[in-house]
Amino acid sequence: MKIAIIGLGLMGGSLALSLKKQDYIKSIVGYDHNQDHTVQALKLGLVDEIVSFSQLKKCDVIFLAIPVDGLIATLATLTDVSKETTIIDLGSTKAKIVTSIPPVIRKNFVAAHPMTGTENFGPSAAVEGLYDDKVVVLCDLEDSGKLQSDTAKKIFTSINMRLTFMRANEHDRHAAFISHMPHAISYSIANAVMKQENKHNILALAAGGYRSMSRLAKSSPNMWEDIFRQNKDNILEAITHFEEELTQLKNAIATDDWEKVHQEMSDGNKLHDILD
């Protein structure tokens, strides 16, 4: 099986590292519009070679590991691939992507969202094991061809991912609460502190809690602008619910209702009964 990866940053590069360990993979080629990324990817050994866009169309599987808007534009240029080709996206939103697939390649396409990542980006951010034991959401799989569906399942299973299935619109609402809203909050936390505190105080006082909460603010603005745009309505709903919860806690503190404060925090503790 010959694999092409479009986008050689954190997700694409880490995927390449995982796939290199699979004996059914013949070769992995890459493509990236950023020439610095192609040079880095080759130097780091993420891919076997860099190919032209026309060459990558001949591969058995094409992964799209690029921001959502670029991903949708790229799909329109892949309408001439073989009927046996599998195209798999790794986008963080799904509904807009699914509705943008050219009908002629709908059977070729598998909508996937690996629930993994770090706050870093670019080829140098690629790490081995990024996908290991993580969930991958496969959306609207009944609309994909059997060959393509089976191929995607084989690949993700072989790199030790846990498969789950849902409709694209369901995925986007869930992702807004669990992934997208936390990124929005992290950016806001970083900006709130930067606008109130000088660099010396931040360096002196920022400990584990602040670093943990602001870590996501290191994430690529280009990628996350796309995600916020594509999943706007769901993200706004999630932020509204967060604002309601924060307002309840704020009001309890303002009115010295410490029993309510304690209860709010105790309720929050219950999340880790699920996660731990």
Per-residue model confidence (pLDDT) at position 153:
98
**At 209, is the pLDDT very low, low, confident or very high (cuts 50, 70, 90)?**
confident
Domains of the chain: 2-166 (3.40.50.720), 171-275 (1.10.3660.10)
Both tokens of 11, joined, read: 């997700």
d(CA 136, CA 153): 10
**What is the predicted pLDDT for the residue at 212?**
82
Q: What is the mean pLDDT of residues 154-171?
A: 96
Q: Which pLDDT band holds residue 156 (cuts at 50, 70, 90)?
A: very high
Averaged pLDDT score across all residues of the chain: 92
- Using DSSP bridges, classify how beta strands 61-64 and 162-166 pair: parallel, antiparallel or unpaired: unpaired
239: which residues sit within 8 A by CB, 6+ positions away?
181, 184
- 114 DSSP β-pair partners: 136
| Least-confidence region, from 1-5, 72-76, 111-115, 212-216 | 212-216
Average pLDDT over residues 26-45: 91
Distances (CA, A) of 26 to 1, 47, 158: 5, 12, 15
Of 144, 35, 9, nearest in space to 86 by CA:
144
More confident residue, 118 or 156: 156
Dump strand ranges (E) for the chain: 2-6, 27-31, 49-50, 61-64, 86-89, 109-114, 135-139, 162-166
In sequence order, the β-bridge partners of residue 89 are 64, 111
**What's the whole-number mean pLDDT along residues 117-141?**
89
pLDDT of residue 219: 83
State the Cα–Cα distance between residues 136 and 163, nearest whole angstrom.
5
The pLDDT confidence band at residue 216, using thresholds 50, 70 and 90, is confident
Confidence at residue 122, expressed as pLDDT on a 0 to 100 scale: 84
C-alpha to C-alpha distance for 262 and 136, rounded to whole angstroms: 36
Q: What mean pLDDT comes out for the span 164-182?
A: 94
User: Per-residue pLDDT averaged across 35-64, rounded?
Assistant: 93
For position 211, what pLDDT does the model report?
80
